[in-house]
Structure 1
Amino acid sequence: MPRKGRRAWIAAVVALAVVVGVTVGVTAGWGREDPSASSPDEPRSRGTELVVAVGDVAGGEFDPLKGWGSRPAQIRLIHSSLLTIDKDVDFVGDLASQYSVSDDAKSWSFTLRDDARWSNGEPVTAQDVVFTYETLKRDGTRFDLTFVERIVADDESRVTFHLKAPRSTFVSQLSEIPILPAKHYGADYSKNPIGSGPYTVADYQQGQQLILTANPHWYGRRPQFTKLTFLFLGEDAALAAARAGSVDIAYVPPTFAGQRVTGMTLQSFESIDSRALSLPTRPAGGRGKIQGKDVAVGNDVTADPAIRKALNIGLDRDEITEIVLQGHGRPAYTLVDGLPWFNQEAVFEDGRVDDAKRILAEAGWSDSDGDGVADKDGRKARFTLLYPSDDKLRSDLALVVAEQARALGIEITTKGSTWDGIYLDGKANAVTWGGGRHHAHQLYSMYSSKVIDTGYNNMPQYANATVDGHLERALSAATQEEANTHWKRAQWDGTAGFAGENGDAPIIWLVRIDHLYLVRDGLSLGEQPIHGHGHEWALFNSLTQWRWEK
């Protein structure tokens, strides 16, 4: 089928899925406004309380040992970190009033601001910083701090980290690890978290809602809003709540960006949040770990580099962007497109169906029985692609990818699941993966063989000694400039790499999305930095600037 005709066909398939969703879930609110429908409730009045529905903002239960801080901006409302990012995505002091790095990049010294207080009024001290980092280092599960030799509280307000070797991405942990109160941390911390951020936890009902109230001891700019209620609603229910006038902010997936809601305006924010296919690189039959659980590893189809490379150059990113994102985003070729550590050589012409078929044929894949699916040694080019059932964007992405892959002779079966299920099955099947941070460390956590079987790092179980060497040199670089050189070489160094037209393609990056929200008219969301991965938390970096405009 010609590309233009195929594009129309795929768009029709996605449109059909949308219509089915509208037909089945009328009460959920999808679809254009019905003039005959009853009027929405009276919109919420402008006050000091906000109700938001941006997805499930839980995960980690406010405790870094359980994963709190593993998503960008997650800690910002309740906790503080030594550093944070500003609107220009520069790393600046948060709890730290100043910091310095030694010439050999092995000693990092911080002076804490003298007005930092916990939500119970007690001062934040250097001992709290030491306790937090030493606790996480001993745990070794959520944050890798093995490169830290020792942490010293020089006095009540000064702390120094002594590293075993330079660590170019240390800044990432310094901006994402929430500082804990040494005197009040214990097994029940999640039930009564004490933090030093602008808000405190007033009520948390798992799977339902989170209520935050303003922290009277917050050292920063006083937020205008004294109470925040997060409703854990699915995308359809969030839109219904917006139409009913019962929420002030609601996340919407790109497919439904054309929805009109009285009293609310669609706001779009650029992000470095990208979506991809994670493809197992090892043959079936192995075993591994995911977040400490034993799981099956490997897939005999995706383990063949020809399958991954054919998909990488054969899938049409422009078409995917047009259909899945409705123009609210752009094609992606790596996790870090456009960032200082991005290798421009990773960009190539895609949508090349004939070239993809040639790669498959040269590797022994051919449609021997004429059913449209290539086969090799009695095995069909067929695998399952997992996606979270409650994520409209990823489900649409899976559908479009499966339709495009048919033209290459590859049959993909899409399967919705929960994230718990995806983690258990994702090392033996393809997954609609995602990522995007304001630093380069995710390149290491997604591609280094040294992190296989830790957390949910390196989902494809990818191993390439040359790439590992570049990644290690990037990590241990003493300057950002030196680190960027090696990050780029890990992507493609002219002969090897995980990205680009000739790379190993364990993860095929496809699109970078804009984050879309319906926002109550008159509500200003301040100066938003470019968003990181995850629409649930990315919006809240600037919350202390939020206000009602006159």
Structure 2
Amino acid sequence: MATRRWSPTPLSPNATWNSGRTISAEDFVADWQACNGQNISFKCNNTDRMSQVSSVKQGTSPDQVVVTYKGSYSDWPRTFDFLLPKESVSDPTTFNDGWTSLTKINDWLAGPFRVADVSRDAGVLIETPNPDWWADKPKLSQLTFRVIAADDRFAALRSSQIDAYSLGEDTSKVDDLDALGNVEVREADVPRGKPERVATRRTLANYGAFGNQSIGWTDVGYLEPAG
């Protein structure tokens, strides 16, 4: 079977990790080496996509990545939909257990929000806007993620304790969710995983409707109406 190559347009020169380091081809190479399934010491959530790749290397400059696939692969655009910096995947111990402080968590991520507080005992993670984010600024002032038992999530949504949660494979609550009136079941594009059905308040589908309010949820992805 013939191999297929993907050589995208150069990475944005403004794209940086929260640590300040420029995102480069080295990050793509390191992620692929960690999660292509060849080294089982890396506890990757999913290796299906990376395992379709035969090589990842720098192109003509550090801001160009050349990915070669083993054959035809229809889901190729999502191969690197959740990129991590090379520092966080340098070895299995760092990748599996290195996320131990707010400094490391923030330095090893990039996005419109950064982690402001984590309470493992309470099961709460709070994110606030990232002042160093180089793309579009977020419209929300805060995101709150809560660990809530699966059996309690419907009640938490109904009582406005949270604004969205993943249904997973459970569809038993769909009729009850529809009966709430202000809730929709949508499909979330989850990084390195299969799309999940998510129960969400209708206003969450339009971020602009929130202005500067804060919202809370248990799982989040890019929300598309469920078909």
Does TM-score exceed 0.5, indicating one fold? Answer: yes
Partner of 1:230: 145
Q: How is 1:159-308 mapped onto 2 (pairs within 5 angstroms)?
A: 159-175=65-81, 178-185=82-89, 186-187=94-95, 188-191=97-100, 192-193=104-105, 194-201=108-115, 202-205=117-120, 208-234=123-149, 237-238=152-153, 240-241=155-156, 247=161, 249-251=163-165, 253-257=173-177, 266-271=182-187
Partner of 2:22: 123
CA distance in 1, matches of 2:15, 2:31: 16
* Residue identity opposite 1:211 in structure 2: I
Partner of 1:323: none
The partner residue of 2:7 within 100, 109, 128 is: 109
Deviations 1:168-199 (A, max 9, x none): 33333233xx2121135425432233111222
CA distance in 2, matches of 1:183, 1:257: 42
Decide whether the 8 Å contact of 1:119 with 1:216 is kept in 2.
Answer: no
Q: CA deviation at 1:124?
A: 1.0
Partner of 1:541: 222
CA distance in 2, matches of 1:189, 1:204: 17
CA distance in 2, matches of 1:161, 1:129: 9
State the percentage of identical aligned residues: 21
CA distance in 1, matches of 2:29, 2:67: 9
* Residue identity opposite 1:116 in structure 2: A
CA distance in 1, matches of 2:99, 2:163: 26
Deviations 1:184-238 (A, max 9, x none): 5425432233111222233152772222222222233211223211222235644
Partner of 1:516: 199
Secondary structure (helix, strand or coil) at the match of 1:128 reads helix
Equivalent residues, number: 185
RMSD: 3.6
Deviations 1:306-343 (A, max 9, x none): xxxxxxxxxxxxxxxxxxxxxxxxxxxxxxxxxxxxxx
* Residue identity opposite 1:158 in structure 2: Q
CA distance in 2, matches of 1:147, 1:242: 39
CA distance in 1, matches of 2:52, 2:149: 40
Q: How is 1:363-442 mapped onto 2 (pairs within 5 angstroms)?
A: 437=195
Q: CA deviation at 1:242?
A: 5.3
Secondary structure (helix, strand or coil) at the match of 2:29 reads helix
CA, structure 1 residues 248+150, in 2 after alignment: closer, same or farther (shift >3 Å)? closer
CA distance in 2, matches of 1:249, 1:219: 27
* Residue identity opposite 1:267 in structure 2: V
Identify the structure with the greater helix proportion.
Answer: 1
Q: How is 1:323-342 mapped onto 2 (pairs within 5 angstroms)?
A: none
Higher RCO, 1 vs 2 (CA within 8 Å, ≥6 residues apart):
1
* Residue identity opposite 1:541 in structure 2: Y
Unaligned residue ranges in structure 1 (runs of 5+):
1-103, 274-434, 438-512, 528-534, 543-550
Secondary structure (helix, strand or coil) at the match of 1:130 reads helix
* Residue identity opposite 2:130 in structure 1: N
CA distance in 2, matches of 1:215, 1:173: 25
* Residue identity opposite 2:6 in structure 1: W
CA distance in 1, matches of 2:18, 2:188: 32
CA distance in 1, matches of 2:125, 2:71: 41
CA, structure 1 residues 208+269, in 2 after alignment: closer, same or farther (shift >3 Å)? same
Unaligned residue ranges in structure 2 (runs of 5+):
168-172, 208-216
